[in-house]
Chains A and B, each alone.
Chain A
Amino acid sequence: DTGVSQDPRHKITKRGQNVTFRCDPISEHNRLYWYRQTLGQGPEFLTYFQNEAQLEKSRLLSDRFSAERPKGSFSTLEIQRTEQGDSAMYLCASSGINEQFFGPGTRLTVL
């Protein structure tokens, strides 16, 4: 499968714990995006990378959130001190010219 993959698919954690998600983009895509989606809403942009450089961050990305893409390939999104309001689907996407493909998402539930 050469699509975008995400791991884990589901994560249940207790409030205050840290969580980390991984995204593996399509190999020839140099742009990688993170979005968050809550029930009944469209995805909301969080941040994006061009190769290893993080070029834009949304105001939604509080200081508890950090994303990295150290070698310009896979990316990680870490949420520290999780809150119940962080419960959502976290989607990763990668893009080529005139196309953007999404992974299956990581569903986070914070208890």
Chain B
Amino acid sequence: SQELEQSPQSLIVQEGKNLTINCTSSKTLYGLYWYKQKYGEGLIFLMMLQKGGEEKSHEKITAKLDEKKQQSSLHITASQPSHAGIYLCGADQGANNLFFGTGTRLTVIP
């Protein structure tokens, strides 16, 4: 069965700092989704990566899928308090049925 490990599990940064969250899979990733979740709420879709070496950006968030398609990273530039939340990566098991990691909790200190 697939395993998805996210690191770090939690992260506290000062506002304005850059940060990176990693998602490592035990199997080849055929589709990797990144989401943000606020406590007690649903998941907000950030982006989806499919091709090895692919990189996508949305506002100050950039995600990459490595060439071997077993690791993805999410990078936030000049973090803001609005970036705080739990970041989840989800691997496509087929037909967009997603298997999720346990998440990275990000706190941004003003």
Contacts and interface: CB of A to CB of B under 8 A. Distances in A.
A1 interface: no
Contact of A43 (B44, B95, B100): B100
A15 B31 CA distance: 39
Given A42-B90, A91-B42, A33 B102 contact: no
Main secondary structure of the interface of A (DSSP, over half): strand
A42 B44 CA distance: 13
Interface string B99-110: 111110000000
Interface size class, chain B? 20 to 34
A102 B101 contact: no
B48 A98 contact: yes
Interface of A: 4, 6, 31, 33, 35, 40-45, 48, 50, 55-56, 89, 91, 93, 95, 98-105, 107
30 contacts: A4-B42, A6-B42, A33-B97, A35-B98, A40-B102, A41-B102, A41-B103, A42-B4, A42-B90, A42-B100, A43-B90, A45-B97, A45-B98, A45-B99, A50-B95, A55-B95, A56-B95, A89-B40, A91-B42, A95-B96, A98-B31, A98-B50, A99-B45, A100-B33, A100-B90, A100-B98, A102-B35, A102-B42, A104-B42, A105-B42
